Structure 1
């Protein structure tokens, strides 16, 4: 197990690690079904919106195939396509725009507030997300997330897990990479952080993609592997 004594800052992945996107999209989707009368398998809809929309766009941005655009715009492009695919036509522009902003209203997982409270005395707590600054501010305000700062990938005009972005983020904090621990439920993010010299903590979020989803494959072990933020706080106190 890694020694945590030299760690000064904890960087947190946000979507999936800190906040529960699946449940909120499904919840607001069901409300739309009640209004429109259109039955939709909202779990499938949510996963497509996340994977085929947002994550696919990040891959295109990383490869240079697509320019970096605001998070809200990335989500809207896929939402328009999904509304057409599922035959949801009885929504005006205001309603579509409001549903698109569901990604600003995602609730923290149940352990997050207590975990961050336990971690705060010993570490600076900072989200480091591919979501842009506007989205991070909205999520923090909505979820009552008390961060010490916000670091967004759009500061650097690139996205994780670009191998250079972790160095950029460390430089912004005026720290060496080994003074930072990346906390995430996504192995790819942690592999990128480790290669840049950061410590790593894998948080298991078995419900990120909804009930019955397959657990993520981890290609390697990380410094810490925990079930939630509370367990992390106890291990690195």
Structure 2
């Protein structure tokens, strides 16, 4: 491999969305004296959000808009009609205050000393800025699919990201915990690294936990990835 840049999926691979959003639902439930399987509610919310943005071309909305608009349907699905508008707003705002996985920030610093590091994500730019500042993540650049107008796994997203980085696809290592992202990146010529995130979807476990055999690198955590890359 002649790697000249690293591109990181951010939602799920870098950010622990499940814990943050699950806590927001649980806090709203406590205010109303309501109990549900908040892990299941959170995962249904994530599925609905992904369904609303994955693969879109030139949408008139971004992923933050989807997070806002699908929330009412998820609440109705789980009998949470008693949740007030302020509960809705509090759960929606939780996306901007997610924690990064604890193994990431230190490894990012190590990797950045050797490679340009880019957040290449379906999340909107404003959200990546907020969570990066919260977690002390210093990217060389952020490439959001909203800036391109094509959302993963559309080939245009990967092609444009490589053009903006001014690096040939074969010299970029796409890093993610999701096969759909890595498979699409590989089809566009990227090298791929699968980082396992067994807790991404909480106790239920991720829906696609096994790396595709064509991945260039498979690791259990980010310090191991940094070591593998000599950082």
- TM-score interval, normalised by the smaller of the two chains: over 0.9
Does structure 1 residue 143 correspond to structure 2 residue 135? yes
Residue 39 (structure 1) aligns with: 35
Asked if the contact 1:61–1:68 (Cα under 8 Å) also holds between the matched residues in 2, the reply is no
> Alignment partner of 2:155: what SS?
coil
> Alignment partner of 1:61: what SS?
coil
Residue 228 (structure 1) aligns with: 221
- What is the TM-score of this pair, normalised by structure 2? 0.92
Please report how far the alpha carbon of residue 91 of structure 1 lies from its aligned counterpart in structure 2 after TM superposition. 4.1
Please report how far the alpha carbon of residue 198 of structure 1 lies from its aligned counterpart in structure 2 after TM superposition. 1.1
Does structure 1 residue 29 correspond to structure 2 residue 22? no
- What is the TM-score of this pair, normalised by structure 1? 0.90
Aligned counterpart in structure 2 of residue 49 of structure 1, from 17, 27, 45: 45
CA offset digits 1:148-183 (Å, max 9, x no partner):
111001111110111222111010111111221100
Please report how far the alpha carbon of residue 59 of structure 1 lies from its aligned counterpart in structure 2 after TM superposition. 3.9
Please report how far the alpha carbon of residue 220 of structure 1 lies from its aligned counterpart in structure 2 after TM superposition. 2.9
Residue 77 (structure 2) aligns with: 85
Please report how far the alpha carbon of residue 75 of structure 1 lies from its aligned counterpart in structure 2 after TM superposition. 0.7
> Alignment partner of 1:34: what SS?
helix
Please report how far the alpha carbon of residue 116 of structure 1 lies from its aligned counterpart in structure 2 after TM superposition. 0.7
Q: Which segments of 5 or more consecutive residues in structure 2 lack a partner in the other structure?
A: none
Please report how far the alpha carbon of residue 60 of structure 1 lies from its aligned counterpart in structure 2 after TM superposition. 6.4
Asked if the contact 1:57–1:74 (Cα under 8 Å) also holds between the matched residues in 2, the reply is yes
Aligned pairs (5 A) from 1:104-119: 104-119=96-111
Q: Distance in 2 between matches of 1:35 and 1:122?
A: 48
Q: Distance in 1 between matches of 2:156 and 2:68?
A: 28
> Alignment partner of 1:131: what SS?
coil
Q: Distance in 2 between matches of 1:26 and 1:107?
A: 13
Does structure 1 residue 196 correspond to structure 2 residue 188? yes
Residue 61 (structure 1) aligns with: 56
CA RMSD of aligned residues (A): 1.7
Q: Which segments of 5 or more consecutive residues in structure 1 lack a partner in the other structure?
A: none
Residue 71 (structure 1) aligns with: 63
Aligned pairs (5 A) from 1:2-13: 3=1, 6-13=2-9
Asked if the contact 1:199–1:223 (Cα under 8 Å) also holds between the matched residues in 2, the reply is yes
Residue 120 (structure 1) aligns with: 112
Aligned counterpart in structure 2 of residue 97 of structure 1, from 89, 97, 108: 89
Asked if the contact 1:10–1:182 (Cα under 8 Å) also holds between the matched residues in 2, the reply is yes
Q: Distance in 2 between matches of 1:81 and 1:177?
A: 39
Q: Classify 1:59/1:121 alpha carbon distance in 2 versus 1 (closer, same or farther; 3 Å).
A: closer
